[in-house]
Amino acid sequence: MNRNPKYEALLDYLKQLDRVVLAFSGGVDSTFLLRAAKEALGDRLKAVTILSPYIPKWEIEEAKELVRELGVDYEIIEAPLIDEIRYNPDNRCYLCKTAVFSMIKELAGKGGYRYVIDGTNFDDIHDYRPGLKALAELGVKSPLLDCKLTKAEIRSLSRELGLPTWDKPPYACLLTRIPYDSELRIEDFEKIERAEKYLMDLGFRAIRVRCHDDLARIEVGRSDRSRLFDEELMDRISEKLKEFGFRYVSLDLAGYRTGSLNAAIGVTG
Protein backbone atom coordinates (compact mmCIF):
# COMPACT_ATOMS: atom_id res chain seq x y z
CA MET A 1 0.00 0.00 0.00
CA ASN A 2 1.02 3.63 -0.42
CA ARG A 3 2.29 4.92 2.89
CA ASN A 4 -0.54 7.05 4.22
CA PRO A 5 0.48 9.84 6.67
CA LYS A 6 -2.30 8.95 9.11
CA TYR A 7 -1.37 5.29 8.99
CA GLU A 8 2.27 6.15 9.65
CA ALA A 9 1.16 8.33 12.57
CA LEU A 10 -0.87 5.41 13.92
CA LEU A 11 2.14 3.08 13.74
CA ASP A 12 4.30 5.64 15.57
CA TYR A 13 1.60 6.04 18.22
CA LEU A 14 1.37 2.28 18.76
CA LYS A 15 5.13 1.81 18.97
CA GLN A 16 5.24 4.19 21.92
CA LEU A 17 2.78 2.05 23.87
CA ASP A 18 5.28 -0.84 23.97
CA ARG A 19 3.11 -3.77 25.21
CA VAL A 20 -0.65 -3.75 24.68
CA VAL A 21 -3.80 -5.83 24.91
CA LEU A 22 -6.33 -5.07 22.19
CA ALA A 23 -10.05 -5.58 22.80
CA PHE A 24 -10.90 -7.37 19.57
CA SER A 25 -14.42 -7.85 18.20
CA GLY A 26 -13.59 -8.78 14.62
CA GLY A 27 -15.29 -5.68 13.22
CA VAL A 28 -13.89 -3.19 10.71
CA ASP A 29 -12.18 -0.95 13.26
CA SER A 30 -10.67 -3.50 15.62
CA THR A 31 -9.42 -5.66 12.72
CA PHE A 32 -7.69 -2.68 11.14
CA LEU A 33 -6.19 -1.73 14.50
CA LEU A 34 -5.05 -5.31 15.06
CA ARG A 35 -3.28 -5.32 11.70
CA ALA A 36 -1.56 -2.00 12.45
CA ALA A 37 -0.63 -3.06 15.99
CA LYS A 38 0.85 -6.30 14.70
CA GLU A 39 3.02 -4.30 12.29
CA ALA A 40 4.05 -1.83 14.98
CA LEU A 41 4.49 -4.13 17.97
CA GLY A 42 4.99 -7.67 16.73
CA ASP A 43 4.93 -10.09 19.66
CA ARG A 44 4.31 -7.29 22.16
CA LEU A 45 0.62 -7.50 21.26
CA LYS A 46 -2.18 -9.66 22.61
CA ALA A 47 -5.77 -9.72 21.34
CA VAL A 48 -8.71 -10.47 23.61
CA THR A 49 -12.28 -11.23 22.58
CA ILE A 50 -15.25 -11.22 24.92
CA LEU A 51 -17.53 -14.27 24.87
CA SER A 52 -20.95 -13.46 26.31
CA PRO A 53 -24.59 -14.42 25.73
CA TYR A 54 -25.15 -11.20 23.76
CA ILE A 55 -22.29 -11.68 21.29
CA PRO A 56 -23.26 -13.85 18.29
CA LYS A 57 -21.36 -17.12 17.98
CA TRP A 58 -20.65 -16.48 14.29
CA GLU A 59 -18.92 -13.23 15.20
CA ILE A 60 -16.68 -15.02 17.72
CA GLU A 61 -15.72 -17.56 15.05
CA GLU A 62 -14.89 -14.79 12.57
CA ALA A 63 -12.74 -13.04 15.18
CA LYS A 64 -10.83 -16.26 15.91
CA GLU A 65 -10.13 -16.77 12.21
CA LEU A 66 -8.91 -13.20 11.71
CA VAL A 67 -6.52 -13.45 14.66
CA ARG A 68 -5.21 -16.77 13.37
CA GLU A 69 -4.55 -15.28 9.93
CA LEU A 70 -2.66 -12.33 11.43
CA GLY A 71 -0.66 -14.53 13.79
CA VAL A 72 -1.42 -12.67 17.01
CA ASP A 73 -1.39 -14.07 20.56
CA TYR A 74 -5.02 -14.47 21.52
CA GLU A 75 -7.35 -15.17 24.40
CA ILE A 76 -11.11 -15.34 24.83
CA ILE A 77 -12.61 -14.10 28.09
CA GLU A 78 -16.02 -15.36 29.15
CA ALA A 79 -18.21 -12.54 30.47
CA PRO A 80 -21.57 -13.37 32.04
CA LEU A 81 -24.66 -11.20 31.86
CA ILE A 82 -24.12 -8.94 34.89
CA ASP A 83 -26.99 -8.19 37.27
CA GLU A 84 -26.61 -4.43 36.76
CA ILE A 85 -27.91 -4.69 33.19
CA ARG A 86 -30.44 -7.48 33.72
CA TYR A 87 -33.32 -5.11 32.90
CA ASN A 88 -31.53 -3.27 30.09
CA PRO A 89 -31.19 0.22 31.64
CA ASP A 90 -30.45 3.17 29.38
CA ASN A 91 -26.88 3.30 30.73
CA ARG A 92 -26.33 -0.39 30.00
CA CYS A 93 -23.46 0.33 27.59
CA TYR A 94 -21.57 2.22 30.29
CA LEU A 95 -22.18 -0.52 32.87
CA CYS A 96 -21.29 -3.31 30.44
CA LYS A 97 -18.08 -1.70 29.20
CA THR A 98 -17.03 -0.94 32.76
CA ALA A 99 -17.39 -4.60 33.69
CA VAL A 100 -15.86 -6.02 30.52
CA PHE A 101 -12.89 -3.68 30.26
CA SER A 102 -12.15 -4.13 33.96
CA MET A 103 -11.74 -7.82 33.19
CA ILE A 104 -9.48 -7.05 30.24
CA LYS A 105 -7.40 -4.62 32.32
CA GLU A 106 -6.94 -7.29 34.99
CA LEU A 107 -5.74 -9.77 32.37
CA ALA A 108 -3.37 -7.17 30.92
CA GLY A 109 -1.91 -6.37 34.32
CA LYS A 110 -1.25 -10.02 35.12
CA GLY A 111 0.47 -10.47 31.76
CA GLY A 112 2.73 -7.44 32.14
CA TYR A 113 1.04 -5.41 29.42
CA ARG A 114 1.16 -1.64 29.87
CA TYR A 115 -2.03 -0.60 28.08
CA VAL A 116 -5.43 -1.78 26.92
CA ILE A 117 -6.54 -0.36 23.56
CA ASP A 118 -9.80 -0.46 21.64
CA GLY A 119 -11.11 0.35 18.17
CA THR A 120 -13.10 3.53 18.86
CA ASN A 121 -12.70 5.76 15.80
CA PHE A 122 -12.94 9.51 15.23
CA ASP A 123 -16.55 9.34 13.99
CA ASP A 124 -17.72 7.62 17.18
CA ILE A 125 -17.45 10.80 19.25
CA HIS A 126 -20.25 12.30 17.16
CA ASP A 127 -22.60 9.39 17.87
CA TYR A 128 -24.46 8.33 21.02
CA ARG A 129 -21.77 6.23 22.72
CA PRO A 130 -22.25 6.15 26.52
CA GLY A 131 -19.61 3.43 26.76
CA LEU A 132 -16.89 5.96 25.91
CA LYS A 133 -17.18 7.35 29.44
CA ALA A 134 -16.29 3.93 30.86
CA LEU A 135 -13.24 3.66 28.61
CA ALA A 136 -12.02 7.07 29.72
CA GLU A 137 -12.50 6.22 33.41
CA LEU A 138 -10.53 2.99 33.03
CA GLY A 139 -7.68 4.60 31.09
CA VAL A 140 -8.30 2.58 27.93
CA LYS A 141 -6.56 4.11 24.93
CA SER A 142 -8.25 4.52 21.55
CA PRO A 143 -5.49 4.92 18.94
CA LEU A 144 -7.85 5.37 15.97
CA LEU A 145 -9.64 8.17 17.78
CA ASP A 146 -6.42 9.82 18.95
CA CYS A 147 -5.02 9.68 15.40
CA LYS A 148 -8.31 11.09 14.03
CA LEU A 149 -9.01 8.18 11.71
CA THR A 150 -12.57 8.17 10.39
CA LYS A 151 -14.60 5.12 9.44
CA ALA A 152 -14.25 5.95 5.73
CA GLU A 153 -10.47 6.20 6.07
CA ILE A 154 -10.32 2.96 8.03
CA ARG A 155 -12.31 1.13 5.35
CA SER A 156 -10.10 2.56 2.59
CA LEU A 157 -6.88 1.64 4.39
CA SER A 158 -8.26 -1.80 5.25
CA ARG A 159 -8.92 -2.41 1.59
CA GLU A 160 -5.37 -1.38 0.68
CA LEU A 161 -4.06 -3.75 3.35
CA GLY A 162 -6.13 -6.61 1.93
CA LEU A 163 -8.23 -7.05 5.06
CA PRO A 164 -11.46 -8.99 4.40
CA THR A 165 -13.37 -6.73 6.80
CA TRP A 166 -12.90 -3.55 4.74
CA ASP A 167 -16.56 -3.59 3.59
CA LYS A 168 -18.06 -5.49 6.52
CA PRO A 169 -21.40 -3.96 7.58
CA PRO A 170 -21.55 -2.32 11.02
CA TYR A 171 -22.63 -4.65 13.77
CA ALA A 172 -23.44 -4.07 17.43
CA CYS A 173 -24.02 -6.47 20.31
CA LEU A 174 -27.44 -8.06 20.69
CA LEU A 175 -28.32 -5.87 23.67
CA THR A 176 -29.13 -3.18 21.12
CA ARG A 177 -31.96 -5.29 19.68
CA ILE A 178 -34.01 -5.21 22.87
CA PRO A 179 -35.91 -2.15 24.16
CA TYR A 180 -34.63 -0.36 27.24
CA ASP A 181 -36.16 -1.38 30.59
CA SER A 182 -36.93 -4.86 29.30
CA GLU A 183 -35.71 -8.01 31.00
CA LEU A 184 -32.80 -9.57 29.12
CA ARG A 185 -33.30 -13.27 28.44
CA ILE A 186 -30.86 -15.75 26.95
CA GLU A 187 -33.59 -17.24 24.77
CA ASP A 188 -34.20 -13.83 23.19
CA PHE A 189 -30.52 -13.43 22.31
CA GLU A 190 -30.59 -16.88 20.72
CA LYS A 191 -33.62 -16.24 18.54
CA ILE A 192 -32.31 -12.80 17.47
CA GLU A 193 -28.95 -14.31 16.53
CA ARG A 194 -30.55 -17.10 14.52
CA ALA A 195 -32.93 -14.70 12.78
CA GLU A 196 -30.21 -12.24 11.79
CA LYS A 197 -27.89 -14.99 10.59
CA TYR A 198 -30.70 -16.44 8.48
CA LEU A 199 -31.34 -13.05 6.85
CA MET A 200 -27.62 -12.49 6.28
CA ASP A 201 -27.43 -15.87 4.56
CA LEU A 202 -30.23 -14.69 2.28
CA GLY A 203 -27.98 -11.85 1.18
CA PHE A 204 -29.18 -8.97 3.37
CA ARG A 205 -26.10 -7.09 4.57
CA ALA A 206 -27.29 -4.25 6.81
CA ILE A 207 -29.80 -6.10 8.97
CA ARG A 208 -31.28 -5.83 12.46
CA VAL A 209 -33.99 -7.90 14.08
CA ARG A 210 -35.37 -5.89 16.98
CA CYS A 211 -37.05 -8.06 19.58
CA HIS A 212 -40.25 -6.84 21.22
CA ASP A 213 -41.11 -9.87 23.34
CA ASP A 214 -42.61 -12.32 20.81
CA LEU A 215 -42.60 -9.82 17.90
CA ALA A 216 -39.67 -9.49 15.50
CA ARG A 217 -39.24 -6.08 13.85
CA ILE A 218 -36.97 -6.49 10.84
CA GLU A 219 -34.85 -3.57 9.66
CA VAL A 220 -32.97 -3.87 6.36
CA GLY A 221 -31.00 -1.32 4.38
CA ARG A 222 -33.04 1.02 2.22
CA SER A 223 -31.73 -0.54 -0.99
CA ASP A 224 -32.88 -3.97 0.21
CA ARG A 225 -36.43 -3.12 1.22
CA SER A 226 -37.91 -3.81 -2.20
CA ARG A 227 -36.54 -7.38 -2.07
CA LEU A 228 -38.72 -8.08 0.94
CA PHE A 229 -41.90 -7.26 -0.94
CA ASP A 230 -41.72 -10.61 -2.70
CA GLU A 231 -44.62 -12.59 -1.23
CA GLU A 232 -42.88 -15.96 -1.41
CA LEU A 233 -39.80 -14.57 0.34
CA MET A 234 -41.92 -12.90 3.02
CA ASP A 235 -43.67 -16.19 3.69
CA ARG A 236 -40.35 -18.03 4.00
CA ILE A 237 -38.90 -15.44 6.37
CA SER A 238 -42.03 -15.36 8.51
CA GLU A 239 -42.13 -19.14 8.78
CA LYS A 240 -38.43 -19.40 9.64
CA LEU A 241 -38.46 -16.67 12.30
CA LYS A 242 -41.47 -18.29 13.92
CA GLU A 243 -39.48 -21.53 14.05
CA PHE A 244 -36.82 -19.56 15.95
CA GLY A 245 -39.33 -18.52 18.61
CA PHE A 246 -41.09 -15.38 17.43
CA ARG A 247 -44.88 -15.35 17.23
CA TYR A 248 -45.22 -12.29 15.00
CA VAL A 249 -42.86 -11.06 12.27
CA SER A 250 -42.98 -7.47 11.01
CA LEU A 251 -41.01 -5.22 8.65
CA ASP A 252 -39.99 -1.74 9.78
CA LEU A 253 -40.95 0.45 6.82
CA ALA A 254 -38.32 3.06 7.72
CA GLY A 255 -35.54 0.55 7.06
CA TYR A 256 -32.31 -0.04 8.93
CA ARG A 257 -30.80 2.73 11.04
CA THR A 258 -28.33 2.52 13.88
CA GLY A 259 -29.70 2.94 17.38
CA SER A 260 -33.37 2.90 16.37
CA LEU A 261 -34.36 1.94 19.93
CA ASN A 262 -32.62 5.04 21.32
CA ALA A 263 -35.61 7.17 20.35
CA ALA A 264 -37.31 5.86 23.49
CA ILE A 265 -34.77 7.75 25.62
CA GLY A 266 -34.82 10.90 23.52
CA VAL A 267 -31.71 10.15 21.42
CA THR A 268 -31.84 10.19 17.65
CA GLY A 269 -29.25 8.95 15.14
Looking at 93, 96, 173, 211, which residue is catalytic?
Answer: 173
CB 188 within 8 A of CB 178: yes
Judge whether 173 counts as a catalytic residue: yes
Q: Is 162 helix (H, G, I), strand (E, B) or coil?
A: coil
Residues 6+ apart with CB under 8 A from 229: none
**What is 164-188 written as a DSSP string?**
TTTTPPP---GGGGS-TTS---HHH
Cα–chain-centroid distance for residue 122? 16
Q: Is 215 left (phi over 0), alpha (psi -120 to 50) or beta?
A: beta
Residues 6+ apart with CB under 8 A from 234: 228, 251
Residues 6+ apart with CB under 8 A from 164: 66
Q: How many residues does the chain have?
A: 269
Residues catalogued as catalytic: 173
